[in-house]
Structure 1
Amino acid sequence: MIHSKQIDSEGFSIINNVFTENEIENLISLIDNKTKNDSDNSTFRKSEDLFAIRQFHKEVPETLPFIFNEKLQNIIESIFGKGFFITKSIYFDKPEKSNWFVAYHQDLTISVDQKIEIENFENWTVKQNQFAVQPPTEILENNFTIRIHIDKTTKNNGALKVINNSHSKGILRIENLDFEKEKETICEVEKGGIMIMKPLLFHASNKTTNNERRRVIHIEFSKQQLPNGLEWSEKTILN
């Protein structure tokens, strides 16, 4: 499959027309209801430049039947196989006049249920009783992320920029990448489309310049068992 080869070689792939207009409208309605009725929730992050819901699939579980439609389930199974589960999810809403930008980085941490001193699990942090840790590289290399685009996303409203094939280089400091020699791609995605990416792919996003909103559901997946009784804190097995 072309997308599987592209993920292996480039670290990402874009697939449009995964969700119908009706499915997207249902997702928007469920999210809007949640934000109106639960505005003081500690998993919500609000600023002038960004609104986010952490642990999204647990906070708004009603969205899961719409997210995991037959098309998305077939895409996951055909590219990655069976046995994957959700390990983390975040909903991002970047407003029309947002100055929020994110510098180039790799996604190096996973969310876990407790802190246990384990070899090669490093850089522990905790936010709102949620532990995060950088696991061994091989765990990150075997995970993947799907970003569901609720709005059309272009270079003008903060589409991700990526460094092609940077996922194959392991964990790096950004200054060790030679930008003169690297290929950068701006990942524009249609409304109802998805972007699949590997956690070690360097990615960034710019400020919004066209007064258009950008809403994305970011979901991370794994099928790996963690050692020594450590568990994924947001683990949700798909039916």
Structure 2
Amino acid sequence: MTEDAANDFAAYGAQLFKGELKSCLDTLEAALSTLRQSEAGLRLHGIEALRPLLVHDGCVGAVAASVLGAFAKPVRAILFNKSEETNWSLAWHQDRTICVKDRREIPGFGPWTIKSGLNHVAPPFDLLTRMVTLRAHLDDVPATNAPLLIAPGSHLYGRVAVNDTDKIIALCGTAVCVAEAGDIWLYATPILHASEKAAIPASRRVLQVDYAAEELPGGLEWLGV
């Protein structure tokens, strides 16, 4: 990433890497082929075929490494889909939890939740500001198929209280993250985002991966992918 692009990402909190995935799209499709891709959201762990793609010099992980550097590692992955059967929506929010191997009571970490049998915890918000989240698009996402909505620059406002969400969105405005199969969108993890129901539902598979470049304190360990 050039210095200008890095500055733009720091301010905007989002960047499109056009066609970045196309060289390995078939490999990614094969790695995910045994999964129930019709589900609305599937949390992924232990899929060996994914790991070479997600490491810092893999075709997916290199996008995260362009911001976080060579220590970037995938720490959580979810495969999302929308279709006529699973045409869901999601209100404006920030992602505020991480996935870890085991529960340990560490100051600043909490509350704890279990999602799909995996340990999740809300870390100190400052940790989230040093993470990035990418969305690798396996299908086209035109404006009619529920592209992600973001509030550009909202990641710079820290932890946004629910009652302040509308105010921050009004300040930042909104952007629509349309994509084609093979595109990767990279986001600052704490950016405010939302998703509407698709106006014309079609398969909209997105592999979402969180990345970090640091270890956790107090014996906590990232679950990883």
Q: TM-score, normalised by structure 2?
A: 0.87
Kindly state the Cα deviation for residue 145 of structure 1 after the two structures are TM-superposed: 0.8
Distance in 1 between residues matched to 2:155 and 2:24, nearest whole Å: 32
Cα drift, residue 29 of structure 1: 3.5
Q: 2:157 maps to what in 1? A: 169
Count matched residues.
Answer: 220
The answer on whether the counterparts of 1:97 and 1:209 sit within 8 Å (CA) in structure 2 is no
- The answer as to 2:218 corresponding to 1:231 is no
8 A contact 1:144–1:196 mirrored in 2: yes
Q: Tell me, in whole angstroms, the C-alpha distance in 2 between the residues paired with 1:140 and 1:66.
A: 23
2:48 alignment partner in structure 1: 61
Structure 1 gap segments, 5+ residues each: none
State whether residues 54 and 61 of structure 2, in contact with CA within 8 Å, keep that contact through their aligned partners in structure 1.
no
Aligned to 1:12: 14
C-alpha deviation, 1:72, in angstroms: 4.2
1:151-199: CA deviation from partner (whole Å, max 9, x where unpaired): 1112211110001111011111232131433310011112101010112
Shift of 1:96: 4.2
- Who is 2:101 aligned against? 113
State the partner residue of 1:101. Answer: 89
How far apart in 2 are the matches of 1:147 and 1:140? 17
RMSD: 2.3
1:202 to 174, 192, 196: 192
Scaled by the length of structure 1, what TM-score is found?
Answer: 0.82
Shift of 1:70: 5.5
2: distance between equivalents of 1:45 and 1:19? Answer: 21
Q: Which amino acid aligns with 1:185?
A: A
For the Cα contact (< 8 Å) 1:45–1:53, is it kept in 2? no
Give the deviation of 1:128 after TM superposition. 4.2
CA distance 1:121–1:91, change in 2 (3 Å): same
Offset, 1:97: 5.3
Give the 3 Å change call, closer, same or farther, for CA 70–130 of structure 1 in structure 2: closer
